[in-house]
Each structure stands twice: as C-alpha cells, then as structure tokens.
Amino acid sequence: MKKILILAGRYLPGHKDGGPLRTLINISEALGDEYDIHIACWDRDQGDTQPYPDVKVGEWNQVGKAKVFYVEQGGFTDELLLSLIEGKDVVYLCSFYDEYGYKTLLLNKRNKISCKVALASMGVFSESALAQKALKKKVFITLCKILGVFKDVVWSVTSELEAEDVKRVIGNNINYVVAEDLPRTTVPGLMDKPQGPMKIAFLSRICEHKNPMVVIDAVSRMKNKNVELTLFGPIQEPEYWNECLKKLKNSDIRWKYEGDVPSDDVQKVLSQQDVLVLPTKSENYGHVVFEAMSVGCVPIISDRTPWAVVEEKKAGYVLPLDTAMFAKALDDFYELTEEEKHKMALCGVELAKDKVRQSKEQTGYRTIFG
C-alpha cells in the first residue's frame, strides 16, 4: 500500500476552511482503504489562538481513515518536513503560499526529496483569486518562478479550465493531472421539512468573493415576501459583514445569522432549507452545492462554478452574476407547485448520487498517487 503525505493548513477537528477541508476529508474517506494516508497540518483552526483541545500535538493521531500529525504555529521546519516525508511515496501540497508549501518546494529544488511532489492549484490562479492582494501575490509567484520551485512537480487541477489558469500564470509546459474534487460518499436524500415560509439559505464564508450581499439584495427584491433567509458561515471579512448587516437591518425581510457550521453538520442543516443561494465569483469545486442537492435543497448558483450540469439535469438554477436574475429565480421557485418543487429536489438527489458513483470510478487522484 503506497504511503501518501498530504501537507495542509487544517484538518479535522477544524471546520472553518470550508471546501478545501471538505476535499481532504472526502479523499481520506474515499481512498483511505487503498492508500496509507498521512496528513500534517496546523494544530488549530483558522483564526483560532488556541490549539484543538483533544489532539496530541507533535505526534500521529488516528482520525478516520487517516493518520494526522498536528504542528504548532511556525513549526514546519525543514527538519520536520524531511522527517514527515521520509518513507512516503508521494507528497501532496495543498498550497505553495503557506510555510509547509514553499519550504517543501525549496527542499525539492535542492534535491532533498526523492519521492513525487504534487501541488494542488486549489483555484488560486483564477482571475478573481489573483485580484485579492494582487501585488503581494504577483511578487511571491514571480519569486517562486525565478527560483524554479515549480519545476519537477505534478500540478493537481480540478478541470481543464483550471489547468488553463495555471498555464496562464506559470507557463504552458506544466505537468498536470485533472483530479476533480471528490464529493462526500453519503447522499441522505430528501428529509421532512417544517411547514411555514420558504426557507432560503446562504452557507459559505462571509466574504466579498462568496457574495452574500447579492443574496440579501435578491431576497429583498422578491415579489413574494413569505420567505426566511438564514445566513451560515464564518465571518472572514468583518467590514464586509458589517455592510451586509446594515443592508439586512434596513430591509423588510425575515432573516437570521446562525454562525459557522461544522463540516459534518452541513447536510443536516441544509436538509431543513428549501433553496441554497450561492452567487460566488468563482469556485474550485463547490462542495456545498453537492451537499445541498444530496438532501433535496435546491441550488440557485452563479455560472462561476463547475456545476453547469445542475441546470441541465433540472436540479436547480445556474445564473450570471446578476441580482435581478437571482431574485427572479427565487420568485420562480416560490411559484412552483409542491409537486414541481419535489421533482426538482429529487433530480438533485439523483445528480448527487451520480457524482458519487463517477468520482469513485474515475478519480484522477489515483493517477497522482500512482
């Protein structure tokens, strides 16, 4: 059984990283019986000042199907990285911006690593992602290219479109494998929902990139007012959230903010919602879209995700980033009969089941892990 070392920012019991964390959990769940998966990560969740209370820092912990090594802040030294890498067949990096990432790439450049090194793009080369802290990122990427640390690595991308993003920034001669993110292995299906107003959910990080402001504006424009908006997710950009709050408090809609949702609770939470609205500026995968469909919550999403198939399968709505169009889609769903809503939700459940089947049979991670 091949030994895989995944170097990441965070893993369980963390939950604030959203999609990237969910990707790692799903890899472990789906492939943990085929590969000996080891994960090294920080000892605390994003933004936390204290380590996780119930883990052993500086040694291996069994977490599900993976062995996890928790590292204290600033602890990814060259010596530790080399000791973690020793005896592994593949090193899989979830970032090159983070300490563990650029240090590993530098060690590889110096021929200190003898196994395969794979680097996940994680959507960082999309135009919208590069636009955030643009100068800082441009300088860092340019320095990495000058040092040649991207040579002799295998890029892990989720689509050919993402591969083109990497080529645009790094160069056309990259070695890459398309490995679409793996969804959860469980599809619970439809669950009983409470009666009452139409329940609209936003579940993602609270930041400009995910566009909760568009959700608020769209719900405010709805002709039908018997609705309730619930926002879930960690507040990543407090100033942006304050602007959202001002808009909410000045609106006539019923709303509430329920905070962050642990990864294992996402499906349960969404099972009680009628629609998920995600007008994101871009998504590497969009795990929350899958998770919504898996429990019969209908997605109304932007066309900036890999989920165009949602509309093709009549499982939801895929729209340009236009507030009026999101408002119309919400009104259109509201006006459907209960039978029509049920049929759309069932289409989503079937699409989620198909995604699970396809991912197990066709995953590119087997190519990366060898």
Domains of the chain listed by start with CATH number: 3-182+359-369 (3.40.50.2000), 198-356 (3.40.50.2000)
pLDDT of res. 128: 84
Cα distance between residue 352 and residue 364, in whole Å: 19
Query: Among candidates 245, 209, 155, which has minimal Cα distance to 19?
Result: 209
Coil vs helix vs strand at 275? strand
What would the two tokens of residue 19 be?
Answer: 């999609």
Cis, peptide link before residue 51, omega less than 30° from 0: no
The b-or-e profile of 205-242 (16+ CB within 10 A means b, else e) is: bbbbbbbbbbbbbbbbebeeeebbbbbbbbbbeeebbe
pLDDT of res. 47: 87
pLDDT of res. 355: 92
pLDDT of res. 19: 79
Concatenating the DSSP letter of every residue in 330-346 gives HHHHHHS-HHHHHHHHH
Query: Among candidates 295, 280, 257, 274, which has minimal Cα distance to 207?
Result: 280
Give 201's strand partners.
230, 276
Contact 10, 41 (CB under 8 A): yes
Contact 61, 28 (CB under 8 A): no
Residues of the chain with pLDDT under 50: none
What would the two tokens of residue 107 be?
Answer: 């060690």
Contact 296, 319 (CB under 8 A): no
Cα distance between residue 213 and residue 130, in whole Å: 21
Residue corresponding to tokens 């294992």 = 264
pLDDT of res. 254: 97
- pLDDT tens-place string over residues 152-199: 999 999 989 899 999 999 999 999 999 988 888 889 999 988 889 999
Cα distance between residue 154 and residue 163, in whole Å: 12
Contact 1, 67 (CB under 8 A): no
pLDDT of res. 288: 96
Residue corresponding to tokens 């977490």 = 63
What does the chain come to in residues?
370
pLDDT of res. 311: 97
